[in-house]
Amino acid sequence: MQIIELFKYMIAQKSETPDDGGLLDFIENYLPDFSAVRIDVEDVTNLFIYKKFSEGEHLCFAGHVDVVPAGNNWDTDPYEAVEKDGYIYGRGTQDMKSGVAAFTQAIKEAQNFKGTLSLLLTSDEEGDAYYGTVEVLKYLEKEGMLPDFAVVAEPTCEEKFGDAIKVGRRGSINGYVTIKGKQGHAAYPEKAINPIHLLAPRLEAMAGVNLDDGDEFFSPSKFVVTDIRSGMEVTNVTPNELKMMFNVRNTTLTTQKEVRAFVAKHLDGLEYELKLTQGSYPFSTDAQSKVVTNIDTAIENVTGIRPKHSTAGGTSDARFMAPMGIKVIEFGVINDTIHSVNERTTKKEVQDLYSVFKSLIQNWN
């Protein structure tokens, strides 16, 4: 197959989380010269496939074959890979079957790589991600096979193909505050303790406030209030308690410790409970790391653009790799229609992404 034919085939396989649509079996068969390991857990399918060309470093390409549900009101069949006006339409065209197709074809054509090449693929990135990449990494750590470097082919570009790579991601801290009060009649406020009134004068100093100043790669960690609820939806009873939810997309400069201290400072004197959870942790890969400098060069060779280094956006499976000492970056097509109706990417972007990955492999040094 050529890259566009391979890409269209992948789009046509319905692989809504956690179904892989048969793609992992297909990729295993498509790369017969590579050794394959399946690490399937519960209803999630995972594939690690690798080839040691010579002694040297281990470069891994990682991604997911699962997609979010297509939804309704598409202009085309979301699982038909319709090509028109230079675009290819279908669920997963940007997120992220373009990336999977590009690195699968590039690695298939690899020759004389200085080290080991591998693919790490899961069907559990768009879901809870409990049994996907994390399980493969556990296996690789146990077997002493963790990669030195990794490229996650999530869509990263902003305006033009090649204009941005991700060299890190912010973490995500979720907060749940319960402020205690004393229920009472609205006509006798002096006999009650209204938690809404307790919070109101303090909220301005909390909502939307930066917890740090950020740095070269990270925008500041901001305290974002996402929900406040209290009372019984009546006008004559003051509430017994108030619940507030918040989220902090944190940099490496802010941890749960700083978030707790911030809440304690502004809710000092109140009776409250605070619960914090964290689904992902911030990371950054050194700009002088080999994977960063080499992908920069590969992108410039293909596009003539020197990409900026970004940490913007949500999360990806790169968040599981960085804590294990893997120097990881993300690079893929333009991100402007992911998860939306009529998701599409250009035919040229897919071809250029394949060329970037092929250049990265050929010129790895």
Tokens of 115: 């080290």
Rounded CA gap, 112 and 254, in Å? 44
Q: Given 16, 95, 125, 296, which residue is catalytic?
A: 125
Sheet architecture: strand order including 35-38:
35-38, 46-52, 115-122, 57-64, 149-152, 327-330, 164-166, 308-310
Q: Are 133 and 125 in contact (CB under 8 A)?
A: yes
Q: Which residues make beta-bridge pairs with 172?
A: 280
Active site residue 258: no
- Residue 51's SS3 state is strand
Token reading at 167? 């060299």
Out of 28, 66, 154, 296, pick the active-site residue. 66
What whole-number distance in Å separates Cα of residue 23 and Cα of residue 10? 7
Name, in order, each residue with C-beta under 8 angstroms of 250's C-beta and a sequence gap of 6 or more: 170, 171, 172, 173, 211, 221, 259, 282
Listed residue (193, 192, 262) closest to 225, CA to CA: 262
Q: Is 66 a catalytic residue?
A: yes
CA pair distance 91, 69, nearest whole angstrom: 8
H helix runs in the chain, sequence order: 3-12, 23-30, 98-108, 133-143, 195-203, 256-266, 290-303, 318-321, 347-362
314 burial via Cβ count (<10 Å: 0-12, 13-18, 19+): exposed
Q: 14: Cβ–Cβ under 8 A, 6 or more apart, which residues?
A: 21, 79
Long-range contacts of 105-108 (CB under 8 A, 24+ apart): 105/1, 105/2, 105/3, 105/6, 105/354, 106/61, 106/354, 106/357, 106/358, 106/360, 106/361, 107/31, 107/34, 107/61, 107/357, 107/361, 108/30, 108/31
β-partners of residue 227 are 245
Q: Specify the residue for token string 């303090």.
A: 202
Active site residues: 66, 125
